[in-house]
Amino acid sequence: MTQTTKPQTLTVLGATGSIGSNTLDVVRRHPGRYQVFALSAATQVDALLAQCAEFRPQYAVMASAAHAAQLAEKIKANSLPTQVLQAPGAIEIIASHEAVDAVMGAIVGAAGLAPCLAAARAGKRLLLANKEALVVGGQLFMDTVKRHGATLLPIDSEHSAIFQCLPEDRSSWATRVDSIVLTASGGPFRQRDPATLAQITPEQACAHPNFSMGRKISVDSATMMNKALEVIEARWLFDMAPEQIQVVIHPQQIIHSMVQFKDASILAQLGTPDMRVPIACGLAWPERIESGAARLDFAQLAALTFENADAQRFPGLHLSWQALRAAEGTTAVLNAANEVAVDAFLQRRLRFDRIHQVNLQTLERITPARPASVQDLLALDEEARSAAQAAVARLAA
């Protein structure tokens, strides 16, 4: 990029997390190309302060007033130019501000839905890591993106891979694409005896073999609910029928996902497992920029292997197809139940193998009416969380 080109202004939602800090690592490698406009976080005041000192955004937002007050005090003490925005809906404001070109949605959970929708309604370039927002928002999310001319770029590595393999002409997908194949690592318990799943601790579940990620997605990877959420995410991003989406375990995580065409030809996207690759791809698309990731060394590469997911060890995986075929809104119920169950597991209130029971029991208890608005979705999310909390209480260890 030449010196005279205006930098792209960027808001990073969930800046202190794994995806947020990897995003800033890519940005750091391209001085002059990106200008950080705003950053948000929930609890890590000092981490956000350090990011404000380095990237000097115009605004910073914390999820609670107490954390915002702490940050504002420290920003003042450090004489930084950043303003801590404390207005109601401050996260939505920095996601939709007219001065912003691109928004990285890297908040974890359904909490990211409203800010991502605000960015979509403002027609932004939306880099979506926050898969739960799409799992909850479903059709309504995609309609909002389309109606307001937003550009939705997937950051989840599997969906970035599929995005890169699909023809750029979206209107040709129906006639050319047969199916998509999501690869999965299988997580840390791929070979563990299913009879011992009850004893798994949060520390064991968060020790992913290939990635250092936030705690919620780490547990989701261990149960393979992460892949279930990704099947739903793929259904909406790529407008595929549930039966056009397959999952295969590929422990090395070199192939990030594949597209199969009508003639049985398959295109795959490969690389070292490093989230800075899909982040750089989303930031620069359709251009390509340095991500900081190591190059794949084929001479050093061991075999690439594939296997089916064991239904006994990973009973949650099939819930994605089940939820997609059920009434609209069911995927929001599944997501809420899973967020509550994972949280209870991380707080040692629920056994690992009962996360699935909470999800099942919540799905059994709630039959959603068709959500017609964000308010409907948030109410459904709330209702499902209450049902899931009750299930956790029944199943608590």
Task: Answer yes or no whether residue 17 interacts with ligand NDP by CB under 6 A.
Answer: yes
How crowded is residue 370: how many other Cβ atoms within 10 Å of its Cβ?
9
Lay out the site mask for Mg ion across 158-197 (x = CB under 5 A, - = otherwise). Answer: x---------------------------------------
**DSSP assignment, residue 327?**
S
Minimum CB distance to ligand NDP, residue 256 (Å): 11
Count of residues in contact with Mg ion, rule CB under 5 A: 3
Question: Among residues 86, 142, 173, 211, which is the contact residue for ligand NDP, using CB under 6 A?
Answer: 211
Q: What is the DSSP string of 2-69?
A: -TTSPPEEEEEETTTSHHHHHHHHHHHTSBTTEEEEEEEESS-HHHHHHHHHHH--SEEEESSHHHHH
Closer Cβ to ligand NDP, 103 or 275, answer by number: 275
Beta bridge partners of 259: 180, 267
Task: Answer yes or no whether residue 156 interacts with Mg ion by CB under 5 A.
Answer: yes
Lay out the site mask for ligand NDP across 256-295 (x = CB under 6 A, - = otherwise). Answer: -------------------x--------------------
Minimum CB distance to Mg ion, residue 95 (Å): 22
Q: Name, in order, each residue with C-beta under 8 angstroms of 162's C-beta and a sequence gap of 6 or more.
A: 154, 180, 182, 234, 237, 238, 257, 258, 259, 269
| CA 232 and chain centroid, separation | 12
Lay out the site mask for Mg ion across 250-269 (x = CB under 5 A, - = otherwise). Answer: --------------------
Task: Answer yes or no whether residue 136 interacts with ligand NDP by CB under 6 A.
Answer: no
Q: What's the CA gap between 233 and 68, in Å, rounded? A: 32
Where does this chain touch ligand NDP (CB under 6 A) — which range of 100-108, 317-325, 326-334, 384-392? 100-108
Asked if 279 and 273 count as a contact pair (C-beta separation under 8 A), the reply is no
Asked if 81 and 36 count as a contact pair (C-beta separation under 8 A), the reply is no
Per-residue tokens: 106: 């890297």
Question: Among residues 7, 202, 209, 214, which is the contact residue for ligand NDP, using CB under 6 A?
Answer: 214
The entry of ligand NDP, Mg ion, none that residue 14 binds, CB within 5 to 8 Å by partner kind: ligand NDP
Residue with tokens 């995806």: 19
Question: Among residues 93, 129, 231, 324, which is the contact residue for ligand NDP, using CB under 6 A?
Answer: 129
Q: What's the CA gap between 158 and 230, in Å, rounded? A: 8
Phi, psi of 155 (to 5 degrees): -110, -25
Task: Answer yes or no whether residue 108 interacts with ligand NDP by CB under 6 A.
Answer: yes
Closer Cβ to Mg ion, 92 or 156, answer by number: 156
Where does this chain touch Mg ion (CB under 5 A) — which range of 149-157, 282-290, 301-309, 317-325? 149-157
Task: Answer yes or no whether residue 217 interacts with ligand NDP by CB under 6 A.
Answer: yes
Q: What's the CA gap between 215 and 386, in Å, rounded? A: 22
Q: Which residues bind ligand NDP (CB under 6 A)?
A: 14-20, 41-44, 63, 106-108, 111, 129-132, 156, 211, 213-214, 216-217, 275
